[in-house]
Structure 1
């Protein structure tokens, strides 16, 4: 399998420059799965607009240096660069310095994640391992495993075993 996956870059979706960037010290040991808890979009333009909005909320309202997630995935499986590989995120309080945060765009308390989104994230994780950004023996968690939250929603949380098949 090709270790490179197609990811829409920050430049392509119109990200603002981060206030600052901290590098992870070594390969990420954990992957934390989130959902945006917003309506899901499949069109590229709608997804880009939502990403700009999420980044604005994370920076202006939450005081983050950038969008909190390392990567996001749309309902059609399109992957978007958040903070990217090797950068400390702001996705799971107290657990960002050894992990990668990936958000599925949508609300998965009721909606089921698409096969395309699951497949794209699996390829992204495989790519991360092959490029050395993610440890081969990484642990995959839902946000709720590390904090008192419903995130990533019941239906996405139930789908996590499909993502653990990467190894």
Structure 2
């Protein structure tokens, strides 16, 4: 099967004797995101747990965003995707400000569809709170929060 997949799809590359890898990291990230979402067949709990455990791992940031998008857009479960996001925002796993930034980036990725309006508003408020919390959130994270908020649509009239 691996030989056929490698030959027919060009997604895999042989990296050594019997060792295969994806030719591009995006394939691996996308399949990891699908795997995480499939854990949630009976509820969002396993998805939230899997994503929360990886919030601080930069190698998983794209996977986290892809999982939210896959659940909300590809599968069409906007409410479930929104519940995952809101649970993560409530739990606040990881470094201060990280989950808020990742959920903001996810909202930006999915665009107008894939998350409920209420969820998008909750994300915007969470990112704004992270941006304002200079005692808890590191300067680099605050800068990322500001960039994310700008893309989301900063609700502050003075900005």
Q: TM-score, normalised by structure 1?
A: 0.35
Comparing both structures, which one devotes a greater share of its residues to strand? Answer: 1
Comparing both structures, which one devotes a greater share of its residues to helix? Answer: 2
Q: TM-score, normalised by structure 2?
A: 0.36
**Larger RCO (alpha carbons 8 Å, 6+ apart):** 1
